[in-house]
Amino acid sequence: MSTSIESIDIKVLEEKILSLEEHCRFLQEIVDCVPANIYITELDKGVVWCNKTNEETLGYTIDEIKKMGGLNYLYQVVHPDDYNVPDQSIEHFNHHADKQYGGVFRCKHKDTGLYKWFIGWGKVISNTNQGELPIRILNVDVDLSPQMDTDIQLRAILAENLKLQHQLILDALSKREIEVLTKICKGLSSKEIAEELFLSKHTIETHRKNVQKKLKIKNMAALVLFCKETGLV
């Protein structure tokens, strides 16, 4: 009787394995057909997996990427002027394991050496056992080159990139500080802000000083410009 039960269990297990393999093949086909570069990175290793679109867009197979080192690969394909994007993403995920990060940057094809514009976004998909520093990050980059054929569009996408970078800085501010910052950039005085928020003028001045210190901005003009670039006003 036990042998019969074991045989049935093995048969069920084999069927489940076959079903799982079929699901994996199906998902792989979908991921490879998505018109975007999808890849997984680790903070200390860089790229450890990518879809077919990524291989075709930039000319590197995943085996080549692993051989040259995932981090070396990133700095090989990213334009030198855009190194701030991978640098800031690593810094971001080291301190904000529960948040996402995005940016606009250029990457070149291995064979042609031609650069294309991408907008990318990363999100943590697994952490350490302690739930602190992220181990793996899912990244999705969309090729913007077809839309980058005019100076106006180029300026627009660069402005969006600046907005994304500033958003990372905003993460250091509290909700109250962002609220005060927004009102400051709308032209309200400390007294007016204090009246609207039912706080003392001294408290508002303290928030203003803390905001400027965290943002490393010394004057009002630069503060207003930051708000506009970030989309706060």
SS3 sequence, 76-138?
HHECHHHCHHHHHHHHHHHHCCCCCEEEEEEEECCCCCCEEEEEEEEEEEEECCCCCCEEEEE
CB 51 within 8 A of CB 34: yes
Q: Is the dihedral of CA 51, 126, 162, 74 positive or negative?
A: negative
In the DSSP assignment, the letter for residue 46 is E
Q: Within this chain, do residues 62 and 103 fall inside the same structural domain, yes or no?
A: yes
The pLDDT value recorded for residue 231 is 72
Domain membership of residue 224 (yes or no) is: yes
Give dist(CA 75, CA 77) in Å, integer. Answer: 6
Domain total in the chain: 2
Give all strands (DSSP E) within 128-219, no chain letters. 134-143
Instruction: With CA atoms as reference, report the closest residue to 208 among 233, 231, 232, 185.
Output: 185
Q: Within this chain, do residues 79 and 143 fall inside the same structural domain, yes or no?
A: yes
Domain membership of residue 158 (yes or no) is: yes
Query: Domain holding 201: CATH number?
Result: 1.10.10.10
Strand partners, 127: 134
The domain boundary, picked from 170, 195, 221, lies at 170
Q: Within this chain, do residues 141 and 213 fall inside the same structural domain, yes or no?
A: no
Q: Within this chain, do residues 129 and 109 fall inside the same structural domain, yes or no?
A: yes
Per-residue pLDDT of the chain (233 residues; tens, 9 = 90+): 455 555 568 888 888 888 888 888 888 888 888 999 999 999 888 999 999 999 999 999 999 999 999 999 999 999 998 888 888 888 888 877 767 888 888 899 999 998 888 989 898 887 765 655 567 899 999 988 776 555 566 666 666 666 666 666 677 788 898 899 888 888 889 999 999 999 999 999 998 898 888 877 888 888 887 777 777 77
The domain boundary, picked from 170, 189, 218, lies at 170
Query: Domain holding 55: CATH number?
Result: 3.30.450.20
Domain membership of residue 81 (yes or no) is: yes
The pLDDT value recorded for residue 178 is 87
Which residue type, as a one-letter code, is found at position 150?
T
Domain membership of residue 101 (yes or no) is: yes
Q: Within this chain, do residues 111 and 197 fall inside the same structural domain, yes or no?
A: no
Domain membership of residue 55 (yes or no) is: yes
Q: Within this chain, do residues 150 and 42 fall inside the same structural domain, yes or no?
A: yes
The pLDDT value recorded for residue 1 is 47
Q: Which domain holds residue 130?
A: 34-170
Give all strands (DSSP E) within 14-100, no chain letters. 37-42, 46-50
The pLDDT value recorded for residue 93 is 84
Domain membership of residue 25 (yes or no) is: no
Which residue type, as a one-letter code, is found at position 212?
Q
Q: Within this chain, do residues 45 and 150 fall inside the same structural domain, yes or no?
A: yes
The domain boundary, picked from 128, 155, 170, lies at 170
pTM passes above 0.75: no
Domain membership of residue 17 (yes or no) is: no
Domain membership of residue 28 (yes or no) is: no
Instruction: With CA atoms as reference, report the closest residue to 56 among 71, 28, 37.
Output: 37
